[in-house]
Structure 1
């Protein structure tokens, strides 16, 4: 939503299928009641999405031309990896206080940005859909300066998030019942935001555990070998910079406002929100989230063009201009909690990654 809180609703939208098939999950404060999830057949959702997408494709055929790889990712990600390698060397002899300072001020920013580069790569934006294994290998390369094996597992769960947004037991972006019940006061919500990396790690194991794939094992082994090399040649402080930077960047950090901004219902009836602000330059335009969910095959670089082409649909939607304000409002507003999400119970032929 705009910072003034004034909202106008769009008459038509590609992602309107989401509001047609969703049920609000307990839009309330501490220990609030949960709405009973509504069952929806997967084929019904697909049919609604196709019906709503078709007019867009006819009206804006130029959007299809934006569905192509972003080869700029190759050199941008490579430069980011090299930058972190240089940072590992520069911090190895710092005093601990300065190490932690630069870990938060610089390392956490580039680490969070790298997770969003991996998000782009998970959509095959680097090499295109015709070279999936090239994208997976490049994702493992991008993962190196994070210290935590993330890339392959993220892709498996993230595609479920797109196919079955809010699906109960499927979409691990939906907080658990415990999170919604317990983290509901300002202090607890602050703690929840700080602990986001922990919950995003544990939640898949509780909600939608999947058998470990061969690529996940490779991702793990490559990452452990890299971490060992960093420790051997540069020492423990470089490893601390790498690991703590990733954890801090995904916790209480301005960029982490996108976790809350994307799908938490600050306004009833609006499930997905876009952010149009300067931090998009550091996050591969992940703030253009309505556009991304409507056209996940369009790389982040081109999402502003999607908005420009279809401005009559996107401009009237609720939107944000500050992720920091999103975090503040979420913490301080008693009507908001991890329960402020749409949750769906799906039936039919569900195909998981």
Structure 2
């Protein structure tokens, strides 16, 4: 289940990567061959960061560089990590779909190219939108590794390529099923708040150069580029909330696999821990939605100062949201730890 902070991150990402204009087929329906697709895969065409690497702030520079290598119609890349252990599992490439029904030749062309080079179709279906998953085993420096390519189109294109086992692990972790022996999460560094404060202090909309950078944007969805170029990559503004959510998943898993509680007892513990978040949580989420909308409106308006103010407000709201969620989740985790200790379950 996605946490509130996950929803917050998704909303923020939406605001910072607004949909690009839909390209016309006249620009060229380029169909990459299988080798070109494989070059989009970490562990095959992308060497660093390596598959399984723990998420790091330094990885963002890699993601930014990958954007510039995206083959048309793909325009941006994102590193995908397992949702709990935060290990690099795949890279997802995205781009706007074509006008009308012209998505089909692109998707079917890629599918045909993969099958010709020995990729095996594992799944194909419609569900909410067309999807297909292919797999193939490659010899790597770490031995044989099965890779997966997932294609989808929901008006926009997505192509995800990565380690099949890590992608499956991520799905299991999302459901609270951790790998045997998973260690207790480690808290964020002691100075993460100072780093966040310093970065936000540099986000000064009284700086003419920064305002000029926002005013000079000619494409929607490039706010993040200005922020990174002028101020630097945003730090993790919700590091403590992320940690508390990781800890919550780990504690629930430890209690479930201990063999000392029934399903009903486990649910009762969660009922005691997961109290109603109250009005504050809903107010925080509403404020974040407003901040996202304000940034979208400012981007379309074109005024540099308004764009800067709206962007800074969004980051500030993200920080506030993270602080409140961290406090709520920490209280719930105290309940989980107390219950686990009563049962003799090691959680320290």
- Normalized against structure 1, the TM-score is what? 0.23
Whichever structure has more helix as a proportion of its residues is: 1
Whichever structure has more strand as a proportion of its residues is: 2
Higher alpha-carbon Rg: 2
